[in-house]
Amino acid sequence: MDIFSIVRLAATKRASDVHMVAYNPPILRVNGSVQPVTEMATLTPDEIDQAFRQITTEEQRTEFEKHQELDLGYSIPDVGRIRCNAAKQRGTTTLIIRLLPSVVPSIDELGLPAICKDLILRPRGLVLVTGPTGSGKSTTLSAMINYLNATQNRSVVTIEDPIEFVYTNDKCVITQRELGSDTESFAEALRRVLRQDPDVILVGEMRDVETASAAITLAETGHLVLTTGHASSAPQTLERVIDLFPPYERPTVQSRLASLLNGVLCQALVPKADGSGRIAAIEVLLASPAVRSNIRDGKIYQLPNVIMTHAKAGMVLLDTVLVDYYNKKIISRESVLAFCNDQDAVAKLIGAGGQI
C-alpha cells in the first residue's frame, strides 16, 4: 500500500478528494462527482490502516485510537498539502483526503468578487465565509490572506484544524497554529491570542458558542476576525451564529453582530457546463445601515430583500449569480436548480429567460 501514489494519481486526474473505504477501490471526487478508480483493486482494512500509518505520527495514532476520529494535515512532495479525516465505519478505518493547491490562486484567478479585496483590508470587524463542505471556503480565505500579505504590513494569526495552506511571509508576519499540536481548542487559542500581537485573526471554524463568543469579543477589541461556517445563504449564516447562544443572550448577540459585521460571503462550487471544472458562485451580504438595523432587530428574514435592493453597493444573492452564469452558458440548467436557494422562483426565471 502506497498512499502517496494514490494521491498523486488523484492529482493527475484533477480530483479534489480521495475516499478510501474498505472493500472498495479508491474513489475520487472530480468536478463535484465521485467516481471509483476501476483500474485499482479493492482496498482491504489492513491496507487502509497501512496508508493511515504512512501519514500520521505516533501521537496522532494514539489520539485516533482514543477518539476514533482525527483531522490532520500533511505535505506530499510534488503534490502539496493534503487534509485528511480519519474515522471508523463498520469497524474499519476510512480516510477522506482533500487535495489542496500547492500554490493558492489569487482572488482574481479564482474569479472571486472584488469586494474580497476590500473586506480583507478592513482594519477591524468580522468577516464570515460560509458554504457547504467542499465549497472552497478555505481557498477563498487563503486567497484573501495572500492578498493582504502582498499589500499590507500586518500581523496575522491563524488557528486551524488542521493547517491547510502554508503561507510565506511577504509584507505580513503570519503565525499559523494547529489544533492538537499547537493548541487544545479554538476557544482556548482565542483566549490567549491577544498576547501574540495580532492585527488579523483567522479562526478555522465558528463551531460552538465558546468560539463564537471569543471571535465576537476579539472583533470588539479592534481586530479583523475572519472565520468560516456551514450555511447555504448569508442570512442563514447569521441565524446559525445567533442560534449558538442561549435564547436570553440572543438580543445582545444581535446587537453586537450588527455593530461588528463587515460582510458575509456564502459560496458554492458549481460544475461548469463544458465539464472543464467548477466555478465559485458567491452570495455577498455587506453591513449597510439597513442590514445592521435588521440584524439588531432580529429580522434576519428581511435580509434577502435588502440584498436584492442594494446591488449597487456590491451585494448579490446566490440565485442571482447562478442565473447570470446560466445566461452566459457557463453552467447548466440542472446545476442552477441544484444549487439555488429558491428553486421555484429560479425555475420560472430561467424558463422565461429572465434575470433576478
CA nearest to 80, candidates 106, 101, 51, 52 = 101
Does some domain include residue 325?
no
| Residue 49 in domain | yes
Note whether 163 and 23 are same-domain residues.
no
Identify the domain containing residue 31 by its residue range: 3-99
Residues 42 and 146 in one domain: no
**Whether the predicted pLDDT of 352 surpasses 60:** no
Cell of 157: 494569526
Chain centroid to CA 131: 7
Measure the CA–CA gap between 152 and 155, rounded to whole angstroms.
9
Q: What is the side-by-side order of every strand in the sheet holding 17-20?
A: 33-36, 27-30, 17-20, 92-99, 80-89, 69-76
- Listed as own residue / partner, the contacts of 295-304 with beta carbons closer than 8 Å and 24 or more positions apart are 295/238, 295/254, 295/257, 295/258, 295/261, 296/254, 296/255, 296/258, 297/254, 298/242, 298/250, 298/251, 298/254, 300/235, 300/238, 300/239, 300/242, 301/235, 303/234, 303/235, 303/238, 304/233, 304/235
Report the pLDDT averaged over residues 119-144: 95
With b for 16 or more beta-carbon neighbours within 10 A and e for fewer, the 80-97 pattern comes to: bbbbbebeeeeebbbbbb
Render pLDDT for 32-74 as a digit per residue (tens, 0 to 9): 899 999 999 999 999 999 999 999 999 999 999 999 999 999 9
What residues contact 29, with CB distance under 8 A and at least 6 apart?
15, 16, 17, 18, 19, 35, 134
pLDDT digits (tens, 9 = 90+) for 72-95: 999 988 888 999 999 999 999 999
Supply 243's cell numbers: 442560534
Based on the domain organization, do 289 and 305 belong to the same domain?
yes
Residue-wise pLDDT for 151-198, tens only, equals: 999 999 999 988 889 999 999 999 999 988 899 888 889 989 999 999
Q: Report the alpha-carbon distance of residue 278 to residue 30 in Å, rounded.
A: 10
| Residue 137, domain CATH | 3.40.50.300
How many domains are there within the chain? 2
Q: Single out the residue of 123, 120, 126, 121 nearest to residue 216, CA to CA.
A: 126
pLDDT of 353 strictly over 70: no
How large a percentage of the chain has pLDDT more than 90?
86
Amino acid at the residue 81: R
Same domain? For 88 and 65 the reply is yes
d(CA 160, CA 56) in angstroms, rounded, equals 18
CATH number at residue 90: 3.30.450.90
